[in-house]
Amino acid sequence: MTGLRKLAAAGGVALTLALVAAACGGKSGTSTGSGFQGTPLTGAGATFPQPIYAAWFKAFRSVEPNAKINYQAIGSGGGVTQFTTQTVDFGASDAPLKSAEAAALPGGAGSALEIPTVLGGVVIAYNVLGVRNGLKLDGNTAADIFLGKVKTWNDPEITAQNSGVNLPSTPIQVVHRSDESGTTNVFTKWLSKESSDWSTKVGAGKAVQWPVGVGGDGNDGVAAGISQTQGAVGYLSYDFAVKSGLGVAQIKRDGDGQFVAPSVDSISAAGGILKFPITEDTSILNSSAAGAYPIATTTYVLVYKNQVSTPKGQTVVDFLYWALTKGQDRVKTLNYSPLPSTIASQALDLLAQITSGGKAIQPSPSVKG
């Protein structure tokens, strides 16, 4: 729990990465060489990428010392809202903008870019005595659990998929997100694909009416709820599950019927099917790629094409260029999966659409070196 509490403290309300000179390889505000030195930015949104974004923001200060980036991990819904009201310089969401959300932007649909940054998985995590890891679940059973139809861990629907596992009669306690969340959107989209009952009764979205269970705020809140409750089950991003030490289920693939555990490699495999342009229907769920984990997702940074402030626009472009190139080398250490090289290349192409004063903003030489 110590690590979880540290993570919650780091990402709960606001993450201000104001680093001293030693951490950045030079004094804050001084030059690490000639050229653009960056300017402060603010952002808000998804909790899922917060740990990797924190690491990226810190490392980027060694490239542009003045690029102090304050990121509020408030959930994808809150990120879209703040981005729409232009109270932040960039937003972050695990779910692509819906057509109504895009139309509500100050410049209307087409005024913003949705840039994929990293891949992750949504996992079904649990706390069941005697079952450390490897519980197997198919999509329909998962839906029945979260619908409240499967009420105990030794229900025949679960035991049929877990031969040889001594499952207890412990009641199942569902924990779900209480805030608007891209993680919820990904998970409920997957449940809707797997279960017509779920699709009809609950559906998919950043926030849904949960039939059973208790809510937790953010991925860290769900992880804490599961950790503190015997018999609990919930969904959260893979990186949070690893850090919290919870049991994580293997999920049955629709195509070949194989059960696949979430991992950096199985999640990365799923990303190969990502297609541009990004639309509200964009998804890498149930990827047909060999060995792909079924509940995989990407996450997006939202940025306006027309940047009112040239220094901020330049910092946004430079940071995103760096994140999509050098930053990808860092993601595995935090249990994320890098974008496939072909996807990262297409994401880089989007940066050419960002302008200020009618001129395209080119990445600074410092981020290309």
Q: Is 41 within the bounds of a domain?
A: yes
Residues β-bridged to residue 301: 92, 115
Same domain, 152 and 88: no
Of 3-12, 108-117, 142-151, 358-367, which gets the smallest average pLDDT? 3-12
CATH code for the domain of 258: 3.40.190.10
Q: Is 307 within the bounds of a domain?
A: yes
Same domain, 143 and 269: yes
Residue 59 gets which letter from DSSP? H
Question: How far is the C-alpha of 200 from the C-alpha of 343, rounded, in Å?
Answer: 34
8 A C-beta contact, residue 78 and residue 267 = no
Same domain, 73 and 205: no
Of 69-73, 215-219, 315-319, which gets the smallest average pLDDT? 215-219
pTM across the whole model: 0.81
| CA-to-CA dists, residue 309 to 7, 76, 312, angstroms | 33, 25, 5
**DSSP character string of 66-111:** T--EEEEE--HHHHHHHHHTT-SSEEEESSPPPHHHHHTSTT-TTS
Question: How far is the C-alpha of 76 from the C-alpha of 356, rounded, in Å?
Answer: 26
Segment 125-147, tens digit of pLDDT: 999 999 988 899 999 999 999 99
Average confidence (pLDDT) over 211-238? 95
Q: How many domains does the chain have?
A: 2
Amino acid occupying residue 235: Y
Same domain, 268 and 316: no
Same domain, 69 and 186: no
Where in the sequence is the domain holding 22, given as residue range(s)?
A: 2-119+298-368
